[in-house]
């Protein structure tokens, strides 16, 4: 008989690492994300038998093979649908959805949208390298205009889709962004996503070294990062920059966010916005930062506000409400019936 008074041995990164050979291109950003997840799960105190990773199709979708947990490698774009069914069948499971910018925002866009608007209790990680990596470099929904690829040899003419804007517009209640090189930043984002009751959406800026190398170098380069990354903290001023003297101010004339320098033109810290992660409209504007020259890209928890109810809880509540109230015969004869003589 097990001694229930004996505390369970704390798991480590090795416990969450499978025996499968990791097969991504050398230098791929997926390695860093994988290691971060394997390192962070033990700190969350989760168990392997209650953890499931569900993926679609793409380089990122190999993720479940490398985690020593349960996992499902499903079909293109349908991971959110499979994960929803899994969560409803066993609500005690911690379900993570691993997808990419192509898998999640192209063929899977409709499934992702509904998982977010329903607020299904899932943790959704979208790896965004702005290209289709597995199928040899076609442009994706997040590719920049002008991207040359096998499918757009003259350059893509499609405007890029912003995953953060998509998630907030879909009704997501938890939206965050991090980057594959931020090994100190990612764990905190993963932990917050896991703690949230409902659908949590995390965009991870990720580098494809073969087909779209340096897609995020203007943000991740060590020299550029301080001026290009706005690290958000709830209740803290939106200050950034190598000298720590840049900030985000709300411009009443243009009704938009703008970058200002503290100490210039009478600007003080009092003019700098304080981050409120419960403000959806502000999160929408923060998600769009970085599109114009001189603007930083917002990183961290952009929006987090618990919904009045969670889809998973609501559906399971309906199931419980009708349990035992009718026999099979009652159900069979509950509607219009007729006799054949």
pLDDT at 308: 86
Q: Which of 262, 249, 256 is nearest to 285 (CA)?
A: 256
pLDDT at 106: 94
Token match 């033990």: residue?
42
pLDDT at 238: 98
pLDDT at 329: 78
Does position 4 have pLDDT exceeding 60, yes or no?
A: no
Does position 337 have pLDDT exceeding 90, yes or no?
A: no
pLDDT digits (tens, 9 = 90+) for 285-319: 999 999 888 899 999 999 999 998 878 888 988 88
Cβ contact 178:193 at 8 Å:
no
Q: Is 58 left (phi over 0), alpha (psi -120 to 50) or beta?
A: left
pLDDT at 8: 66
pLDDT at 9: 80
Whole-number percent of the chain with pLDDT over 90: 83
Does position 323 have pLDDT exceeding 90, yes or no?
A: no
Contacts of 260 (CB under 8 A, 6+ apart): 246, 247, 248, 249, 267, 271, 272
- For residue 212, which phi and psi values (nearest 5 degrees)? -155, 50
pLDDT digits (tens, 9 = 90+) for 72-127: 999 999 999 999 999 999 999 999 999 999 999 999 999 999 999 999 999 999 99
Angstrom distance (rounded) from CA 202 to CA 296: 18
Residue range 214-226: average pLDDT? 92
Angstrom distance (rounded) from CA 90 to CA 87: 5
pTM here is 0.91
Sequence ranges of the domains in the chain: 13-215+309-318
Residue range 260-275: average pLDDT? 95
pLDDT at 338: 76
Where are the alpha helices (H) located in the chain, listed in sequence order?
30-44, 63-66, 79-89, 101-102, 109-118, 163-169, 186-195, 217-220, 225-228, 280-287, 311-322, 328-332
> What's the mean pLDDT when you consider all of the chain?
93
Domain 13-215+309-318 bears CATH identifier 3.90.25.10: no
Residue range 250-275: average pLDDT? 95
Does position 12 have pLDDT exceeding 90, yes or no?
A: yes
Angle at 116 between CA 111 and CA 122, to 5 degrees: 95
Angle at 36 between CA 21 and CA 239, to 5 degrees: 150
- For residue 50, which phi and psi values (nearest 5 degrees)? -110, 10
pLDDT at 60: 94
pLDDT digits (tens, 9 = 90+) for 176-206: 999 999 999 999 999 999 999 999 999 999 9
Does position 136 have pLDDT exceeding 90, yes or no?
A: no
DSSP state of 128: E
């Amino acid at each position: 008989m097990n001694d229930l008074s004996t505390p369970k041995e704390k798991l480590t990164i090795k416990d969450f690492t499978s025996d499968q050979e990791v097969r991504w291109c050398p230098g791929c950003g997926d390695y860093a994300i994988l290691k971060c997840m394997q390192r962070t799960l033990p700190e969350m105190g989760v168990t392997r038998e209650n953890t499931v990773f569900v993926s679609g199709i793409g380089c990122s979708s190999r993720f479940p093979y490398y985690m020593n947990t349960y996992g499902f490698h499903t079909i293109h774009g349908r991971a959110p649908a499979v994960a929803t069914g899994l969560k409803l069948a066993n609500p005690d499971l911690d379900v993570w959805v691993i997808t990419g910018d192509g898998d999640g925002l192209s063929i899977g866009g409709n499934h992702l949208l509904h998982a977010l608007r329903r607020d299904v209790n899932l943790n959704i990680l979208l790896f965004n390298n702005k290209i289709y990596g597995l199928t040899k470099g076609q442009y994706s929904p997040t590719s920049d205009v002008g991207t040359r690829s096998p499918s757009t040899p003259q350059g893509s003419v499609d405007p890029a889709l912003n995953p953060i804007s998509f998630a907030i517009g879909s009704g997501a209640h938890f939206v965050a962004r991090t980057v594959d090189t931020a090994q100190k930043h990612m764990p905190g984002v993963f932990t917050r996503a896991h703690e949230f009751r409902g659908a949590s959406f995390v965009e991870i800026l990720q580098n494809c070294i073969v087909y779209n190398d340096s897609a995020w170098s203007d943000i991740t380069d060590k020299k550029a990062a301080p001026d290009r990354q706005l690290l958000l903290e709830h209740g803290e001023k939106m200050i950034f920059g190598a000298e720590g003297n840049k900030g985000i101010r709300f411009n009443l004339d243009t009704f938009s966010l703008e970058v200002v320098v503290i100490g210039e033109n009478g600007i003080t810290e009092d003019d700098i916005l304080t981050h409120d992660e419960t403000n959806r409209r502000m999160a929408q504007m923060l998600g769009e930062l970085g599109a114009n020259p001189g603007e930083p890209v917002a990183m961290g928890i952009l929006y987090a506000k618990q919904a009045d109810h969670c889809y998973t809880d609501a559906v399971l509540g309906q199931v419980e409400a009708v349990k035992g109230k009718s026999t099979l015969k009652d159900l069979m004869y509950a509607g219009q019936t007729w006799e054949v003589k």
